[in-house]
Homo-oligomer: A and B are copies of this chain.
Amino acid sequence: MDAEIIAIGTELLLGQSVDTNSSWLARNLARLGFNVFRLGAVGDNERRLAEAIQLALSRSEVVLTTGGLGPTVDDVTRKAVARALQKPLVFHEELAKALEARFKARGLEYAPSNLTQAFLPQGATLVPNPGGTAPGFWCKSGKGHLACLPGVPSEMKSMFEATVEPALRALDPRGTVILSRVYRTTGLAESLLNEKILDLFEGSENPTVAVLAHAEGVDIRLTARADGSEAAVALLDALGKRMTERLPQHIYGWDQDVMETIVGRLLATRNLTLACAESLTGGLVAQRLTQVPGATRYFRRGYVTYSDESKSQLLQVPDSVLRSKGAVSPETALAMARGCRQADGADLGVSTTGIAGPAGGTPEKPVGLVYVGLADEANAWVREFRFSGTRDSIQRKTAQAALEWVRRYCLQLPME
């Protein structure tokens, strides 16, 4: 079964907001076995929207729309669907009462304009919106199915999952199910990673493999096509296993996994505490660690030591080291890692120092030169990096490298 998605809103045509709903819906339709061949966006114009819906229904069995379901005159989805399907709009008493009750329960004024939301095209089924006021609906038209959802992403997603997805499953699309899985790696440049897995990559038509580099690392996306979810998962598992064997230390997570959550879990289960001392990352390592609920179990303090004085005062980096080697040096990184660990009484200390740019580089110490230090009770280590990119990406690459080192320490994996 073919499907199309139409995003509705003049703000999309003016470029004032980016449509992320269509992408989310497309991913879910692929997962359910629908073939999405087209996405489109139209403005708050009844005639053009009605045309777009008619065209889509003439080509595809399933059409999903997002947006245009509010109570204002700009919200034309209800009218456009009625026009496209040549059905009248019908007032739903119960829906009107539920809308009014919702407003009153929240102490909001109930404007008569909200009544427009109680009109649905004749024959439409309500798609309830537990998270907001704009109700959605689902219509049949010949052999086509049309579901209209609001544009607020959180409402759209929960309504899709609760009501639209079961209805779509019931259509039994029997199409190819497309499932993706992202393996997240860090610490290996895209070209080196390619060398390690290129034969798996090239030899595989299903799943297909795509490699995406960004500041925090390289993501490997596997996309499997199969007759059902189970078969698709099995394909992903099989290639994923071979991929993981090739990259035993570089894959730190899957899909939505982020490094700070992975590191936090490892520290917590090992009863380890961590302190950090940051120069060029300026607090990013601490900020990422403390984004995770419950970080207090393993993280108690961080230092942002931007000036030399703060490095010597707070972290006992010897003045002689700062004078002779400079703030950006392996010696300083080591002393910072040791210093923060000791002051906190933590099990581990991690440190960052370097030149984030865009200014401040010299031939000996260019922009992108970074040292990351790690200390435990017995030892301290330092690694040098040469990162490229903007200030922001150098800071992000450094923070990721620091967290990755903590991860590998916990797992006793080599840093190579």
Residue picked from A40, A281, A282, most chain B C-beta under 10 Å: A282
8 Å CB interface, A283-326 against B:
283-287, 289-291, 293-296, 299-307, 309-310, 313-314
Please give me the residue from chain B that is nearest to A12 by CB atom.
B39
Least CB distance, A46 to chain B, in whole angstroms: 13
Residue picked from A30, A39, A48, A289, most chain B C-beta under 10 Å: A39
Q: How many copies of this chain?
A: 2
Least CB distance, A242 to chain B, in whole angstroms: 21
Q: Is A113 an interface residue (CB 8 A)?
A: no
Q: Is A379 an interface residue (CB 8 A)?
A: no
Across-interface contacts of A283 in B (CB, < 8 A): 278, 283-287, 289-290, 302, 304
- Contact indicator A38/B41 (Cβ below 8 Å): yes
- Contact indicator B358/A293 (Cβ below 8 Å): yes
- Contact indicator B30/A14 (Cβ below 8 Å): yes
How far, in whole Å, are A180 and B285 apart by their CA atoms in the complex? 36
Across-interface contacts of A392 in B (CB, < 8 A): 291
Chain A contact residues: helix, strand, loop or mixed: mixed
How far, in whole Å, are A25 and B291 apart by their CA atoms in the complex? 34
Residue picked from A24, A287, A391, most chain B C-beta under 10 Å: A287
Name 11 extra pairs, CB < 8 A, besides A12-B23, A37-B45.
Answer: A12-B39, A15-B25, A16-B23, A37-B48, A39-B41, A286-B304, A291-B395, A295-B306, A301-B303, A301-B305, A302-B304
Across-interface contacts of A281 in B (CB, < 8 A): 287, 290
Please give me the residue from chain B that is nearest to A276 by CB atom.
B304
Q: Is A359 an interface residue (CB 8 A)?
A: yes
Given known A-B contacts A15-B24, A287-B287, A359 and B42 have beta carbons under 8 A apart: no
Across-interface contacts of A26 in B (CB, < 8 A): 12-15
Q: Which A residues form the contact surface with B (CB < 8 A)? A: 7, 11-20, 22-30, 36-43, 45, 48, 52, 178, 180, 210, 221, 223, 276, 278, 280-287, 289-291, 293-296, 299-307, 309-310, 313-314, 343-344, 357-359, 391-392, 395
- Contact indicator A39/B27 (Cβ below 8 Å): no
Residue picked from A223, A283, A290, most chain B C-beta under 10 Å: A283
How far, in whole Å, are A244 and B38 apart by their CA atoms in the complex? 43
- Contact indicator B36/A13 (Cβ below 8 Å): yes
- Contact indicator A301/B295 (Cβ below 8 Å): no
Please give me the residue from chain B that is nearest to A39 by CB atom.
B41
How far, in whole Å, are A210 and B70 apart by their CA atoms in the complex? 15
Across-interface contacts of A285 in B (CB, < 8 A): 283
Please give me the residue from chain B that is nearest to A306 by CB atom.
B300
How far, in whole Å, are A278 and B284 apart by their CA atoms in the complex? 13
Across-interface contacts of A284 in B (CB, < 8 A): 283, 287
- Contact indicator A14/B223 (Cβ below 8 Å): yes
- Contact indicator B300/A310 (Cβ below 8 Å): yes
How far, in whole Å, are A221 and B16 apart by their CA atoms in the complex? 9
How far, in whole Å, are A136 and B261 apart by their CA atoms in the complex? 42
Residue among B23, B280, B282, B286 making CB contact with A17, cutoff 8 Å? B23
- Contact indicator A180/B286 (Cβ below 8 Å): no
What are 7 A-B pairs at a CB distance below 8 A? Answer: A13-B26, A13-B30, A14-B223, A282-B286, A282-B289, A283-B289, A293-B359
Please give me the residue from chain B that is nearest to A15 by CB atom.
B27
Please give me the residue from chain B that is nearest to A27 by CB atom.
B15
